[in-house]
Structure 1
Amino acid sequence: MTRPRGTDRRETIVQAAFEVIAERGYRGSSLGAVAERVGLTQQGVMHYFPSKEQLLMAVLERRDQWDLMGFSRSEDSSSLGAAHLQQLVEYNATRPGSVQAYTVLAADSVTEGHPARPFFQERYTRVRAWVADLMERQEGELPSGLTAEQLAPIVIAVIDGLQLQWLLDPDEVDMPESFRDFLAVLGIKV
């Protein structure tokens, strides 16, 4: 089954925008830069995405879809736990461009008036709940008597912090190994 040409063009534009944003950040990117990368005029890009904000939201939504496609390996969601988080960190270590774009956009989104702020607020709410659910499934007691809900933002902070350090110095920071060490400190075996 073939996809319509417009769908392919939209996908190409989103991919190019993803790359431009990863390189320059949202504020440093432009529809013109995206257009140049895909061989269109700025008006050509605007035919598919009437504003830079709409293109940004398409990039964010598509990135999450790419993540799900590339990381939906578990057959039985009831068996998920910290090992799943370890697999996610290992998977992210294979995609520096995606990690960089996410890191840049997440950091940018804390600035006043950033169009991705609501997206990231909602996403972190969802991710905290997901991580808390994974922590609930761990056998044994969580460290220091913490609840899964208390531990979730700490786990996310460690993952995000490791991603940033890995992007800045990939030869010195082994992201998967460091996350394994963090889980060991928590007393969680994977």
Structure 2
Amino acid sequence: MEKKSDRKVVRVDGGVRRVQIMDEAQRLIGERGYNGFSIQELADRCSLTKAGLLHHFSSKEQILIDLLDDRTKRHQLDMKNWVARRKAATVGWYDRATFIESLKKSVEREIADVEMVRMHVMLQAETLCASHPAHNYFNTREAMRQRRMALALEHFCQDPQTTARHLLALMDGLTAQWLREHMNFDLAAQFAAAISLQLPQPDDEN
């Protein structure tokens, strides 16, 4: 019979464990929303006790905030690297073609990380409630998205504010439809078609 003292205790690095917890939290939020799961359920899915999980994060709310911050930083780094490469390869910045390529890049990223997208779609609805812990985060996020897009559109668009609002609504709406329909249509192709309607090619580029 194996003695208790002979068993090996496998210790997981704290950073690795935090990543595991955030990944599982992202899946749960994508499935049921932030309000649809408990700390105990998340701990069970991570093979931890509730106390063990709270050793890494002080609360459920802290898990959500750290998760959103982590995903935002990933996205910003990805886009920053893409922008740097694009600037090095083109003379005009921002021109219409570069702007459209940046939108397509965002859609490609969504297609490649469905769990993150599902989480954001779920939270966009939940955070309409002012008491939600990510309410201010999403308000700030949406304002920043619109401001950045409008600034880029100023270089070649007569009404950048309205166009930015319409494009963001198209992106979010098509993404929600794509998830609802179990990814049964080509999101990138549908978005490309929507862009052509919102930003028709100038006559002098034909």
Q: TM-score band (shorter)? A: 0.7 to 0.9
Residues 129 and 183 (structure 1), Cα distance of their counterparts in 2 relative to 1, 3 Å cut:
same
SS at match of 2:116: helix
Q: Give the alignment partner of residue 187 of structure 1, picking from 157, 175, 199.
A: 199
5+ residue gaps in structure 1? none
Q: Give the alignment partner of residue 69 of structure 2, picking from 61, 65, 69.
A: 61
Which string of whole-angstrom CA distances, capped at 9 and with x for unpartnered residues, describes residues 135-162 of structure 1?
2244xxx3xx4x2122212111110000
By how many angstroms is 1:172 displaced? 4.3
- TM-score, structure 2 normalization: 0.79
* One-letter identity of the residue aligned with 1:85: L
- TM-score, structure 1 normalization: 0.85
Task: Determine if contact 1:35/1:45 at 8 Å carries over to the other structure.
Answer: yes
By how many angstroms is 1:36 displaced? 1.1
* One-letter identity of the residue aligned with 2:193: D
Which string of whole-angstrom CA distances, capped at 9 and with x for unpartnered residues, describes residues 35-58 of structure 1?
112111111111111111111111
5+ residue gaps in structure 2? 1-11, 202-206
* One-letter identity of the residue aligned with 2:196: A
Match of 1:106 in 2: 124
Q: Give the alignment partner of residue 74 of structure 1, picking from 83, 86, 89.
A: 83
Pair 1:126 & 2:140 matched: no
Residues 31 and 16 (structure 1), Cα distance of their counterparts in 2 relative to 1, 3 Å cut:
same
Q: How many positions carry a matched residue from both structures?
A: 180
Q: Give the alignment partner of residue 50 of structure 1, picking from 52, 58, 72.
A: 58
Larger radius of gyration: 2
Alpha-carbon RMSD: 2.0
Residues 9 and 17 (structure 1), Cα distance of their counterparts in 2 relative to 1, 3 Å cut:
same
